[in-house]
Chains A and B, each alone.
Chain A
Amino acid sequence: MMVGGQSYRGGVGRGRPWTFYALALLFGTFLLFLYGPMLVIYLLSFQGPNGGVTFPMVGTSVVWFEDIVKPGQMANIPVSFGRSVALAAVVSLVTVVTSVAAGLGFRRRFPGSGLLFYLAVASLVMPSLLVGFGIGLEFKALGLKTSLFTSALGAQLTWTLPFGLFAMFAVVNRFNRAYEEAASDLGASAWQRLVNVTLPILLPGIIGVGMGAFTLSYDEYARTTLVIGDRNTLPLEIYALISSATSPTLFAIGTVTTGVSFVIIGFTLWRIYRMQARRTAARPVP
């Protein structure tokens, strides 16, 4: 086992080459570039009561967090957060059901399958603001009112469905058809095979797609903004606040929503990891 593992290190006791440190520095800079801006936000959200939206920090406090739930200017934040989560949940569900069905269906080539696939994913490259605009115009032309679970849901699906398809194709590609043949061989009907074999085996990937769709929807702005109707989702609410008021409360909102995202994603990854680890546990020597 692990033959050749040594060669990566260039032998024992010779130390690392200078290129290691150069690349490590480059990577460190990259990480700083990625996370630096958000770190500033998180730090400033703990600004003292007399501080402003820029450095320096004037002491530390959690008053800006208290501001979020206080009645007043921020009153819309908790309720828009609820809307965002509800919408993201529906988007995620629709995306998962559609992309699992499509992923399984596309395993078999059929006439026009290539064209259909490109048509489905081409939506990813459409300018997002214009997609939203188009949906808004359509609703107006048809005399329909734009709202959360009609036009906004549709606008977000134009984004999450192609993404879900792509991800699901990758998941399904790694699925060994012998599992399904074995299930048929053992007397499973098509439905039993799907429920007892195919879906459970694909489950880690399916959860991943659902999670991806959820987070895409949760912080979607461009497609949603023109079709949301009169009740904002969280990103739209925050944007409105940025243009009207500036206080560290915005940063506190950023910190809280990031925290929520991390908890959700962390929990999901942990579940997937547990599932995978159980299935691919180290094999004892025969």
Chain B
Amino acid sequence: MRTAPGRDRGVRNGGDFSVEPRFDVELVAVTKRYDRTVAVDAISLRISPGSYCCLLGPSGCGKTSTLRMIAGHEAVSDGDILIRDRNITEFPPARRGTAMMFQSYALFPHLNCLDNVAFSLKMRGVGKAARHARAREFLELVEMDELADRLPAQLSGGQQQRVALARSLITDPQVLLLDEPLSALDPFLRVRMREELKRLQRELGITFIHVTHSQDEAMALADLMVVMDEGRIRQSGTPREIFEQPASSFVARFIGGHNVLGTPGGLVAVRADRCRIGAPNGKAHLPGRVAAVEYQGPVVRVALELQSGELAAALLPDDVYFAGPVQPGEPATLVWSDADARPLVAG
């Protein structure tokens, strides 16, 4: 990506403001009800200026509804949404200072890349030459200037995404909203676009809110990771905080890499890479049977079925595993040290 074109954020906000807002986005008990079901249940969230925020959760957890309410494509049933200290709950989408990138990109199929990117300027009545010049700058930003004359159907998924990004950014948003932006890409491209999204966010210095169901994506990108389930925020924090201190069994299971184990002292989460197989030697342990062994290169994943019927896994460094290999069906004991166990609340 290249350097972002010149920005004029102050003008958009009505000119001079000496006090920097404390938050780019603030949700205050935001609720979304459809007939009888509650899709989003009184969630509150504060996103610091210039953050990369990921809303993470299984499908139906309310993450997309939340994003669409921030964008203004879904009415808020209750609560308030503030962007840079302005209450925009009732504002139309274009006046919120947000821009949305849709899951399917929603590039207009009858317009070429240049006209797609220039669309918002055309709506504002900017003349053809001026809007095309500006659109070219943004196509350059996403390295799509050479394909400016192509129609969306003539582009690959990754190229379409870059154009969609340019089209959103040309509106000079304070907050960019991304709805599962990487889900339509193949795994290789996904990792590359992920890096580019993060770099772009850092360069532009604006807040990105990115909805995803992929833990990897959220961990890789987020400054603020928000784990949602059943319309509620289960836990929010930096990816490291959440990975090291999952608050509930749901969070521990959903972000992966953890065993949720029932011990005499209660429910605990233990990272799979901190678990070992073998003799307890006075450490915490649970007996079971080897269910499967997967060689993954640097680590070997040994899946266990514990006597309690629970499933668990140990991620063993390859040298540790090959020092004492096990076969499926053999009895085995899962061992961990108490220092690695995080007590959990159920749910």
Chain A interface residues (CB < 8 Å from chain B): 176, 178-179, 181-189, 192, 196-197, 200-201, 203, 275, 278-281, 283-286
Check if B106 sits within 8 Å of A184, measured CB to CB: no
Smallest distance from the beta carbon of B194 to chain A beta carbons, Å?
Answer: 15
Given that A280-B153, A281-B154, A285-B156 are contacting pairs, would A185 and B122 also be in contact in the complex, using a CB cutoff of 8 Å? no
Contacts of A283 in B (CB 8 A): 153-156
Contacts of B280 in A (CB 8 A): none
Smallest distance from the beta carbon of B91 to chain A beta carbons, Å?
Answer: 12
Check if A278 sits within 8 Å of B94, measured CB to CB: no
Check if B106 sits within 8 Å of A188, measured CB to CB: no
Check if B106 sits within 8 Å of A182, measured CB to CB: yes
Number of chain B residues whose Cβ lies closer than 8 Å to a Cβ of chain A: 35
Main secondary structure of the interface of A (DSSP, over half): helix
Besides A179-B108, A201-B109, 5 more A-B contacts (Cβ < 8 Å) are A184-B94, A185-B73, A187-B94, A189-B123, A279-B109
Task: Flag B184-196 by CB within 8 Å of A: 1 or 0 each.
Answer: 0010010000000
Q: Which B residue's beta carbon lies closest to that of A178?
A: B106
B287 at the interface (CB under 8 A from A): no
- Residues of chain B in range 110-127 having any CB-CB distance to chain A below 8 Å: 110, 119-120, 122-124
Cα-based distance from A188 to B38 in the complex (angstroms): 31
Cα-based distance from A186 to B100 in the complex (angstroms): 9
Contacts of B151 in A (CB 8 A): 278-279, 281
Contacts of B189 in A (CB 8 A): 286
B158 at the interface (CB under 8 A from A): yes
Check if B124 sits within 8 Å of A197, measured CB to CB: no
- Residues of chain B in range 66-108 having any CB-CB distance to chain A below 8 Å: 71-73, 92-94, 98-100, 102-104, 106, 108
Contacts of A178 in B (CB 8 A): 102-104, 106
Q: List 30 A-B contacts (CB under 8 A).
A: A176-B104, A178-B104, A178-B106, A179-B108, A181-B93, A181-B102, A182-B108, A183-B123, A184-B94, A185-B99, A185-B100, A185-B168, A186-B94, A186-B171, A187-B94, A187-B124, A192-B123, A196-B122, A196-B123, A200-B110, A201-B108, A201-B109, A279-B109, A281-B153, A281-B154, A284-B156, A285-B156, A286-B156, A286-B157, A286-B189
